Structure 1
Amino acid sequence: MAKRGRAAGRSGADKAAGVVEIPKGSRPEGPVEGIYYIDTGDCELIADQDNSTGWLLRINGVMSSHIDLADPLFLDFEYMRWISALVESRWPPESRPKLRALHLGGGACSLARYFHAAYPDARQVVVELDGKLAEYVRGWFDLPKAPLLRLRVGEAREVTESLTPQTRDLIIRDVFAGSLTPRPLSTLDFNRHIQRVLAPGGMYVVNSGDAPDLKNAREDAATIAAAFRHTVIIADPAMLKGRRYGNMIIAGSDVPFDDDPGLARRLLGGAVPAHIWDDARVRAFAAGAPVRRDPKTVDPASPAAP
């Protein structure tokens, strides 16, 4: 569901010609264009034809990430720019906060690289389900080493449930199976685990992909609003009006989001201008949508209901 930030121009993502399939088990050091076997299928590494130091990563046919090897502060995907703007509104980089961030969903670790450059004192963990993909990404993109950035192979919910309470300031959910986030990572029950792991004043940010009917985004918003006292949504006007497929950023916190004119201007100034909705508009948008819950489990030893 990733949408690139450039307004025009044919990118390397559209040019599959000449890609060479890499034999299973090989891992070149540094990025080499090609198709690679990973644990969950395959990924394709594509040189960005518009940027000599840029690379695109497609996972199982879906565009996932962009990396600029020369500039970690360059984010090509607009939704990632929206996330970084929201985070920096709460934690200005010039104050050098020791941000503790958890990324659920790895891809090429674009945001983790960005936050490492913006917050040199940050400690980050990226949870990636696919161990082979994590190995490739670590080799291709020269990521910061532990403890600044750790890649943890595992299922996002299991890892989150295992974490110590109040040990993260920022949690970002950017996990997709096809066009949607797996349901276990979108329920109120999972949001309660997120709440437990977040420190006071922390922020939970999700990338919610959706179709024009906005059914998934409304349910995501309703579920996050049921868990957190304060919410915001960031998206471009066409997405908010249900006119296209795309990405919507939804965030929750136990403290209010600042009414920051600078944030609003930054969002409007991008290649894909975005609006930010406050808590009241988020709850109005989500009104009537069901709050997702984990399925109820039945103890096989329990007697059947009459």
Structure 2
Amino acid sequence: MSGPRHEIVPADRRDAWLVRLDGRDQSYVDLADPTHLAFDYVRRLGDVVDLHRRAGEPTRVVHVGGAGLTLPRYVAAIRPGSWQVVLEPDEELTAAVREQLPLPRRSGIRVRPVDGLAGVAALREDCADLVVLDAYAAGRVPAELVTTAFFADVARVLVPGGWFLLNLSDRAPFAATRDAIAGLRSVFRRTLVAAEPATLRARRPGNLTVVAGPDDSLAEALAARASGGALAARVLGHDRVSDSFGGGTGT
């Protein structure tokens, strides 16, 4: 059986490219300006990267899922000297990205050819400030990456005060997101959710950015960033998440 089909095609800006997997857009990579985050959910992930510590300060990030390495490139650009590990099992895709969309020299980005479950299990305790889950197979997050056991392993890898960021694709009534949040709440103290208003109002499916961590310190600042501009989103703090995404069972 043949594997996923990869394409890297020109995007809407000079020196910008779309990485596609089986016809689905996976990444938008702007080689001239890695701080340009075209996809709304990636912009929300980038906002968390911006807010979790002082501007320009290096950080340590584990990315579960790589594709075109858009977010790692962003971190390397705005936080020079950061330590980043990308867990991406698709070696053919990684090779194509490295050849056609090369990383900057001394980017600090290391790609390991391993799936998220095994890759996180191999990491030492307290090694990351952020863990980002943005991994898809056949249009869905692999089931083994949205379990309470995996979330607990992520918590082991995070330093005290670290944050777990998840990109979940879902639609009302958000059964998958409810189950994921139930599992997250058994491991982490606080959760928040950010998404386009149309997705939250059940008008269309979309990407939900879920952030799990020790407190509510990001909620207000993230809401302020997400409320304006072309990529506006609503941010639901911990209590609102309970009201809107309760009832999940976790796995």
Paired with 1:101 and 1:191, the residues of 2 have a C-alpha distance of: 16
**Which amino acid in 1 is paired with 2:250?**
V
**Structure 1 residues 110 and 147: alpha-carbon distance in aligned structure 2, compared to 1, 3 A threshold:** closer
Larger radius of gyration: 1
Paired with 2:204 and 2:122, the residues of 1 have a C-alpha distance of: 37
Q: CA RMSD in A?
A: 1.6
User: Secondary structure at 1:41's aligned position in 2?
Assistant: coil
Measured after TM superposition, the shift of residue 135 of structure 1 is 1.1
**Are positions 1:206 and 2:169 aligned together?**
no
Query: Which residue of structure 2 lines up, in the alignment, with residue 4 of structure 1?
Result: none
Q: 1:130 aligns with which of 76, 90, 96?
A: 90
**Which amino acid in 1 is paired with 2:233?**
A
Q: 2:27 aligns with which of 62, 65, 77?
A: 65
Paired with 1:235 and 1:147, the residues of 2 have a C-alpha distance of: 30
The question of whether the paired residues in 1 share the 8 Å contact of 2:49 and 2:75 is answered with no
Query: Which residue of structure 2 lines up, in the alignment, with residue 89 of structure 1?
Result: 51
Query: Which residue of structure 2 lines up, in the alignment, with residue 40 of structure 1?
Result: 3
Query: Which residue of structure 2 lines up, in the alignment, with residue 10 of structure 1?
Result: none
Please list, as runs of the form range in 1=range in 2, the aligned pairs for 1:14-53 lying within 5 A after superposition: 40-48=3-11, 50-53=12-15
Measured after TM superposition, the shift of residue 73 of structure 1 is 0.4
Query: Which residue of structure 2 lines up, in the alignment, with residue 219 of structure 1?
Result: 179
Paired with 2:218 and 2:94, the residues of 1 have a C-alpha distance of: 35
**Are positions 1:281 and 2:234 aligned together?**
no
Mind listing any 5+ residue stretches in structure 2 that lack a counterpart? none
The question of whether the paired residues in 2 share the 8 Å contact of 1:170 and 1:203 is answered with yes
**Which amino acid in 2 is paired with 1:135?**
A
**Are positions 1:270 and 2:229 aligned together?**
yes
Mind listing any 5+ residue stretches in structure 1 that lack a counterpart? 1-38, 293-306
Measured after TM superposition, the shift of residue 122 of structure 1 is 0.6
Measured after TM superposition, the shift of residue 180 of structure 1 is 1.7
Q: Percent identity?
A: 31
**Structure 1 residues 222 and 285: alpha-carbon distance in aligned structure 2, compared to 1, 3 A threshold:** farther
Paired with 1:259 and 1:206, the residues of 2 have a C-alpha distance of: 15
Q: 1:256 aligns with which of 213, 216, 226?
A: 216
TM-score (norm 2): 0.94
- Structure 1 stretches of 4+ moved >3 Å: 144-147, 258-261
User: Secondary structure at 1:260's aligned position in 2?
Assistant: helix
Measured after TM superposition, the shift of residue 182 of structure 1 is 0.9
User: Secondary structure at 2:149's aligned position in 1?
Assistant: helix
**Which amino acid in 2 is paired with 1:84?**
G
Number of residue pairs the alignment of both structures matches: 250
